[in-house]
């Protein structure tokens, strides 16, 4: 088993590295049939999309089935409530800490000062009118669960799945067959995840090669300070906050934890989607990190939907960046508002590429900064998105390990092997 895991991890990493190198080389080729039609929109697109769609195909059924299982197998509704509250509090707290780190970095590193505006390709923005927070909350309850699944509305699927799980657990023995059915379905989908993951190294190669062949790096230079500040924030959060939580609450070595979690991080990096990473995260949590199915199947899908620490870091730094570019002074009141709105916005941010940047408009509006500022960073957003998605899903796994440990559902032998 250990050998197989090493193989997958290294194969995915090799795919990622080769994709990066190939992408940069192809970016340098002159435009034409070979570069555009055969490579970027041909081979890279084909293998990248086959993998991405293969894994996305499993997300809705997996999130639904695994949450029903998680909620039903928690034993009693009281435990479900306790774990649920703990999880949400944990997710929101780490996100608030992430925003604070970002604001401190934005203040000291000043990513928006000295920017050569003429070198940046700004993008015209059409941002939908702001959705009131209240609406975000009540829309978590689906009017039609089938529509929610068809649209892939994760928050609505989560609400319906948890209720279904609670219902099953209240009915107890009477619905033994249904519970068994959900367990079997879960096993089936996890098997499908394993099959699709066999294709991960090639898929990751295609996705990364296409991204770098299209975006290249020339657009990066004028914004390099902004990009680096976000990455510094992500690294600080991953090493100090997550590392500290793992050490302090679980006795697990962060190094072993990260090593095992690497395939999930690679999928997050190449797809820039927390949703797409759920299947891999779940598999690693259960098989490699020794976290019981009960806990992981509940906290991982929930985290992929509501916990976005990396996104919050980007938003905090983008606030300072845009304020500095446009010459605004941020008051303490504005900063506190950003901490609150960015934390809450993370609940409403979908785990798909680019969603965090759309939600940034809500954060900017809350303190009266110009949302056109988003146009400055949107051109290079994918490169930041890849990194922040890695942090987003790592946060879910760390929280899952902490909660599992507290509930006595973390197998230390498996976790530290
Ligand atoms: N791509 C991120 C995710 O899926 C969300 C974002 O755009 O920040 O986690």
Cα maximum dimension of the chain = 69
How far is Cα 393 from Cα 261, in angstroms, rounded to an integer? 10
CA–chain centroid gap for 240, Å, is 19
Per DSSP, the three-state class of 207 is: helix
Token code pair at residue 66: 């695994």
How far apart are alpha carbons 85 and 64 in whole angstroms? Answer: 20
Q: Nearest-CA neighbor of 131 among 312, 334, 358?
A: 358
Distance CA 299, CA 91 (A): 10
Over residues 379-396, mean pLDDT: 95
pLDDT value at residue 121: 64
In this model, does residue 2 exceed pLDDT 70? Answer: no
C-alpha to C-alpha distance for 308 and 83, rounded to whole angstroms: 19
Torsion angles phi and psi, residue 410, rounded to 5? -115, 120
pLDDT band of residue 155 (cuts 50, 70, 90) is confident
**pLDDT greater at residue 112 or residue 227:** 227
Query: Is residue 348 within 6 Å of ligand 1 at its C-beta?
Result: no
Tell me which DSSP letter residue 118 carries.
G
Task: Tell me the CA–centroid distance for residue 339 and ligand 1, in Å.
Answer: 18
Pocket test for ligand 1, best of 389, 391, 397 (most atoms within 8 A of CB): 389
Token digits of residue 323: 């304020």
Predicted pLDDT of residue 172:
87
Burial 300-334 (b: 16+ CB within 10 A, else e): bbbbbbbbbbbbbbbbbbbbbbbbbbeebebeeeb
Nearest Cα neighbor of 94 from 243, 282, 202 is 243
What would the mean pLDDT of 204-233 be, rounded to a whole number? 87
pLDDT at 203: 95
Q: Is the CB of 364 under 6 A from ligand 1?
A: no
Q: Is 312 in the pocket of ligand 1 (CB under 6 A)?
A: no
Q: Decide if pLDDT at 1 tops 90.
A: no
234 lines ligand 1 (CB under 6 A): no
CA–CA distance, 9 with 16 (Å, rounded to integer)? 11
| Exposure class string for 357-378: b at 16+ Cβ within 10 A, else e | bbbbbbbbebbebebbbbbbbb
> 291 - beta bridge partners?
410
Give the ligand 1 atom nearest the CA of 381.
Answer: 7
Identify which of 312, 314, 388 to mutate to test ligand 1's pocket (most ligand atoms within 8 A of the CB). Answer: 388
**Model confidence pLDDT, tens digit, residues 298-354:** 899 999 999 999 999 999 999 999 999 989 999 999 999 999 999 988 888 889 999
Q: Return the pLDDT at 119.
A: 64
Q: If pLDDT is split at 50, 70 and 90, which confidence band does 79 have?
A: confident
In this predicted model, which residue has the larger pLDDT, 248 or 219? 248
Whether 308 is in the pocket of ligand 1, judged by its Cβ within 6 Å, is yes
Q: What is the mean pLDDT of residues 383-405?
A: 96
Would you state the structure tokens that stand for residue 336, as one six-digit string?
């506190």
- Percent of the residues in the chain that have a pLDDT greater than 70, as a whole number: 94
Q: Which residues pair with 410 in a beta bridge?
A: 291
Q: Is 382 in the pocket of ligand 1 (CB under 6 A)?
A: no
Whether residue 411 has pLDDT greater than 60? yes
Q: What is the SS3 assignment for 291?
A: strand
Looking from the CA of residue 353, the nearest atom of ligand 1 is 1
21: how many CB neighbours lie within 10 A of its CB?
Answer: 13
Report the chain's mean pLDDT, rounded to a whole number: 90
User: What is residue 410's three-state secondary structure?
Assistant: strand
Q: Which atom of ligand 1 is nearest to the CA of 351?
A: 4
**Structural contact between residues 22 and 205, judged by C-beta atoms closer than 8 angstroms:** yes
Q: Is the pLDDT of residue 7 over 80?
A: no
Q: State the sign of the Cα–Cα–Cα–Cα dihedral 266, 271, 272, 277.
A: negative
For residues 188 and 254, the answer to whether their CB atoms sit within 8 Å is: no
Give me the residue label for tokens 């990751």. Answer: 204
The rounded distance, in Å, linking the Cα atoms of 22 and 18 is 6
- CA dist 163 and 157 (Å) reads 10
C-alpha neighbours within 13 Å on the C-beta side of residue 60:
13
pLDDT at position 416: 83
Higher pLDDT, 69 or 399: 399
**What is the structure's pLDDT at 255?**
94
Could you tell me the sign of the dihedral formed by the alpha carbons of 85, 90, 95, 101, in that order? positive
Minimum CA distance residue for ligand 1 atom 3: 351
Give a three-class secondary structure readout of 33-77.
Answer: HHHHHHHHHHHHHHHHHHHHHHHHHHHHHHHHHHHHHHHHCCCCH
Rounded to the nearest 10°, the torsion over CA 103, 104, 105, 111 is 60
If we measure between CA atoms, which residue out of 29, 14, 70 comes closest to residue 292?
70
Q: Which of 231, 351, 360, 380 to mutate to test the pocket of ligand 1 (most atoms within 8 A of CB)?
A: 351
Does 352 sit in the ligand 1 pocket, CB within 6 Å? yes
- In the prediction, which pLDDT does 128 show? 60
- What average pLDDT score do residues 221-237 get? 94
Distance between Cα 403 and ligand 1 center (Å):
23
Closest CA to 218 of 34, 374, 28: 28
């Amino acid at each position: 088993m250990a050998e197989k895991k090493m193989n997958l991890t290294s194969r995915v990493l090799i795919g990622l590295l080769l994709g990066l190198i190939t992408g940069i080389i192809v970016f340098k080729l002159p435009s034409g049939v070979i570069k555009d039609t055969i490579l970027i929109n041909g081979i890279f697109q084909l293998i990248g999309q086959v993998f991405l769609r293969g894994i996305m195909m499993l997300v809705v059924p997996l999130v639904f089935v695994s949450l029903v299982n998680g909620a039903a197998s928690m034993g009693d509704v009281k435990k479900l409530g306790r774990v649920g509250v703990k999880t949400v509090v944990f997710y929101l707290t780490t996100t608030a800490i992430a925003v604070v780190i970002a604001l401190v970095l934005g203040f000291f590193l000043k990513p928006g000062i000295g920017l050569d505006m003429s070198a940046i390709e700004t993008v015209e923005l059409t941002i939908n009118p702001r959705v009131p927070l209240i609406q975000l909350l009540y829309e978590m309850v689906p009017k039609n669960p089938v529509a929610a699944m068809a649209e892939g509305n994760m928050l609505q699927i989560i609400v319906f799945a948890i209720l279904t799980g609670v219902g099953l657990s209240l009915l107890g023995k009477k619905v033994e067959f249904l519970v068994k059915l959900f367990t079997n379905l879960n096993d089936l989908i996890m098997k499908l995840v394993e099959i699709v993951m066999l294709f991960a190294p090639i898929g990751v190669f295609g996705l990364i090669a296409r991204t770098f062949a299209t975006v290249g790096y020339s657009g990066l230079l004028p914004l390099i300070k902004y990009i680096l500040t976000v990455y510094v924030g992500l690294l600080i959060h991953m090493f100090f906050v997550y590392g500290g939580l793992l050490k302090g609450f679980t006795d697990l070595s962060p190094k072993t934890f990260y090593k095992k979690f690497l395939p999930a991080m690679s999928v997050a990096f190449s797809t820039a989607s927390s949703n797409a990473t759920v299947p891999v995260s779940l598999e690693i949590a259960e098989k490699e990190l020794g976290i019981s199915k009960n806990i992981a199947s509940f906290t991982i899908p929930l985290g992929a939907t509501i916990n976005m620490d990396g996104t919050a870091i980007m938003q905090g730094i983008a606030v300072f960046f845009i304020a500095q570019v446009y010459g605004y002074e941020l008051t303490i009141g504005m900063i506190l508002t950003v901490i609150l709105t960015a934390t809450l916005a993370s609940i409403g941010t979908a785990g798909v590429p680019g969603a965090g940047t759309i939600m940034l408009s809500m954060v900017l509006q809350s303190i009266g900064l110009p949302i056109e500022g988003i146009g400055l960073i949107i051109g290079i957003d994918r490169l930041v998105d890849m990194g922040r998605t890695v942090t987003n899903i790592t946060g879910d796994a760390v929280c899952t390990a902490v909660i599992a440990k507290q509930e006595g559902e973390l197998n230390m032998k498996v976790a530290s092997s």
